Amino acid sequence: MNQRDLDDIAHRIGSAAGEFAPGHRPTAAQVADAASILQGMLQAAETYGVTFADFDAVAHFARLAIQLVQSRDESR
């Protein structure tokens, strides 16, 4: 994973965060955690030749990563 990939993750997470209604927008800490989750998912998937394009063909994984973090935080 190179700097361009990391910048792409940051852009995708930032864009996804903007899609949430004002009362449900993620905090800065949630955005950071979501970016780390998405990075980890991509690093693990790279072993199998899976790319961002493959993720995009299936679901909005940046939004999913934010929702995962928000769900985690709600259950705390």
To which residue do tokens 């800065």 refer? 28
Give the CA count within 13 Å in the CB-facing half-sphere of 32: 3
Range of the domain at 15: 3-74
Task: Select from 38, 31, 73 the least CA-distant residue to 56.
Answer: 38
Count of structural domains, the chain: 1
Residue 43 token pair: 């690093």
Q: Render pLDDT for 3-62 as a digit per residue (tens, 0 to 9).
A: 998 999 999 999 999 999 999 999 999 999 999 999 999 999 999 999 888 998 999 999
pLDDT of residue 72: 97
Q: Is residue 1 scored above 90 in pLDDT?
A: no
Residues 59-72: tens digit of each pLDDT: 999 999 999 999 99
